Amino acid sequence: MKRFFQVIEKDSEKGLKKAKENEKEEENENETNKEGPLKFVSWNANSLFLRVKNNWSEFSNFITTFDPDVIAIQEVRMPAAASGSQSKSAPKNQGEIKDDTNSAREEKRILMRALSNPPFGNYRVWWSLADSKYAGTALFVKKCFKPKTVVFNLDKIASKHEPDGRVILVEFETFRLLNTYVPNNGWKEEPNSFQRRRKWDSRILEFVHQNSDKPLIWCGDLNVSHEEIDVSHPEFFITAKQNGYVPPNKEDCGQPGFTLAERARFGTILREGKLVDAYRFLHKNKDMEQGFSWSGNPIGRYRGKRMRIDYFLVSDKLEEKIVACDMHGQGIELKGFYGSDHCPVTLELSPSSNSQNEDSI
């Protein structure tokens, strides 16, 4: 009668074997993720803290289902932390959330607890925040992807943040990703209105000129509807006024985000930056149900008035890789907006042909 004996591994051998398995898994993961992220979400949350308090389970389910590699958030509306200086005039630490008062600590605790739970615990987060509960951006990148650099300004200067935390620029091996919350044009010929937006558009044009060495994915709330197809009621937006004010230049008349001047400048940025509007590339026709990313208040004169002002723009070099780009809100009752006045927008790219060939071997 034969007897069979199981070989008992020593603890040290088990540990060595486990370490080798982990090392092999990490090598495979690095090989898989070499070309960078392929699935993206962009969302103007209109206060991330309020979304965590009121709409988080629904948004979490959306993220779990889509499983993006990158989540770009605009209008975080969490104030930046103090710099540590005794001077009240010292600039804030825009990369950290304020926690120097009881209420600020509690809000930060609630937010960070939500972000530590699935699916958000799988991501590393970068912040660029304003001094108060205004504007601000955040970028979530799956931990398996290792950005080469992360900066917070269009000039690509380390440690500098744009005013109000409007930019996060991350560089991967094969492309750059720019997350922006673009300033609203406003209604008047004033420094914080038309003039601010003209300056921003000029800087963005300069940015795309100076960074053409690597493909770009530019996403976020860009606060402009390029064509009439991008708004639900063109005539309403073209003739919109605030308190009867009429700008001196006809090109500046109308709804902020839909003036002739803004649309013309946006077209120049697309053309000279060789950028493709991923959504319009795939969706040629107007979609009154699900073709807009911003919706007016369901109560009042903006009820049913909608605009597409949230985008994924990609370098024309990436055009053939565009698989899908979709708006995830629909109807005038803001279904799929998760409490915000903007709905999430998603982009999916195909892996490179080299990766596909490797997978089939």
For residues 66 and 178, the answer to whether their CB atoms sit within 8 Å is no
Rounded to 5°, angle at Cα 217 from 169 and 319 = 165
Structure tokens that stand for 154 in this block: 């269009």
Question: Which is the catalytic residue, given 221, 230, 252, 277?
Answer: 221
Distance CA 146, CA 141 (A): 9
Residue 44 among known ligand-binding residues = yes
Alpha-carbon 292 to chain mean position: 16
Backbone angles phi, psi at 220, to 5 degrees: 130, -170
Residue 223 among known ligand-binding residues = yes
161 given a catalytic annotation: no
Question: Which is the catalytic residue, given 161, 164, 181, 338?
Answer: 181
3-class DSSP state of 70: strand
Backbone angles phi, psi at 77, to 5 degrees: 60, 40
Distance CA 256, CA 351 (A): 37
Long-range contacts of 18-23 (CB under 8 A, 24+ apart): none
For residues 159 and 135, the answer to whether their CB atoms sit within 8 Å is no
What is the C-alpha radius of gyration for the chain, rounded to an integer number of angstroms?
23
Residue 326 among known ligand-binding residues = no
Structure tokens that stand for 115 in this block: 């972000």
Half-sphere exposure of 331 (CA within 13 A, CB side): 4
Helix axes 260-272, 194-210, angle to 10 degrees: 10
Question: Which is the catalytic residue, given 161, 226, 328, 342?
Answer: 342
Distances from the Cα of 113 to the Cα of 109, 136, 272, 290, 330, angstroms? 6, 20, 43, 33, 30
Residue 342 among known ligand-binding residues = yes
326 given a catalytic annotation: no
328 given a catalytic annotation: no
- Name residue 361's amino acid: I
- For the annotated binding site, the residues are 44, 75, 221, 223, 341-342
Give catalytic residue positions.
181, 221, 342
